Amino acid sequence: MSEPVLYGAAYSVYVRTARLVLAEKGVTYRLEEVDVFAPGGAPAEHWARHPFGRIPAFEHDGFRLYETGAITRYVDEAFAGPPLQPADARQRARMNQAISVLDNYAYRCLVWDIFVERVRAPANGRTPDEARIAAALPLARTCLAALPDIMGEAPFLAGAAVSLADLHAAPIFVYLAMAPEGRELLAREAPLAAWWERVKARPSLAETRSPLEA
């Protein structure tokens, strides 16, 4: 079987989730740079891989996929390496619940409303939209309370071992922790802060470092 190809950019949260999964599985792959935020949008050939023009897209031996959750589950199931989905039905449900929370509530609020406004706006010479940041904080607090609730007493979001849920969350938390508001939110949730210390120390995080990290 040939080496899989991941299409995307190293700064992207969702591309990094797929890369973290590949790294944790020990799969060698090629990252082909696609910048969807370039002036003019995604390059023409990328729309054939992803009808919504997003990243990542993925190809393995002619099998093409898009949507991070589909890519990560495929990589976990099609390749050797440590399993990244709990065998137990209830723990797997917790993993899927955490991923849904991250996709549907956390990503936009923690990354776009807080990180992009507080950290990226000034880096790009723009004044942060304080109203947008303030408006995001209640939902951010809800997200950061929901995750430890899902985790319970376990060291990782879905049990005793790292799972797709932790790898889905990690790129979001890297960026969130770069904003003072994000660090304050994390400090209010001691079990989640302890989880983050465990996750951020994993070699896969260092291997997939974003160019936007300080």
Ligand X SMILES: N[C@@H](CCC(=O)N[C@@H](CS)C(=O)NCC(=O)O)C(=O)O
Extract the tokens encoding 133. 């940041």
DSSP 33: E
Q: Which is nearer to ligand X, 115 or 156 (CB)?
A: 115
Supply the DSSP string of 112-177, one letter for each residue.
IIIIIIIIIHHHTT----HHHHHHHHHHHHHHHHHHHHHHTTSSBTTBSS--HHHHHHHHHHHHHT
Considering the complex, what minimum distance in angstroms separates the CB of residue 152 from ligand X? 26
Considering the complex, what minimum distance in angstroms separates the CB of residue 51 from ligand X? 12
DSSP 201: T
Considering the complex, what minimum distance in angstroms separates the CB of residue 67 from ligand X? 5
- Taking alpha carbons only, the member of 199, 185, 83, 108 closest to residue 151 is 199
Q: Which is nearer to ligand X, 13 or 162 (CB)?
A: 13
Q: Which is nearer to ligand X, 36 or 199 (CB)?
A: 36
Considering the complex, what minimum distance in angstroms separates the CB of residue 40 from ligand X? 12
- Taking alpha carbons only, the member of 40, 87, 123 closest to residue 95 is 87
Rounded CA separation 114/191 (Å): 22
Q: Which is nearer to ligand X, 12 or 163 (CB)?
A: 12
Of all residues in the shown chain, the one whose CB is closest to ligand X is 54
What are the residues facing 64 on neighbouring strands? 59
Q: Which is nearer to ligand X, 59 or 148 (CB)?
A: 59
Considering the complex, what minimum distance in angstroms separates the CB of residue 175 from ligand X? 10
Which residues are at the interface with ligand X (CB under 6 A)? 12-14, 36, 53-55, 67-69
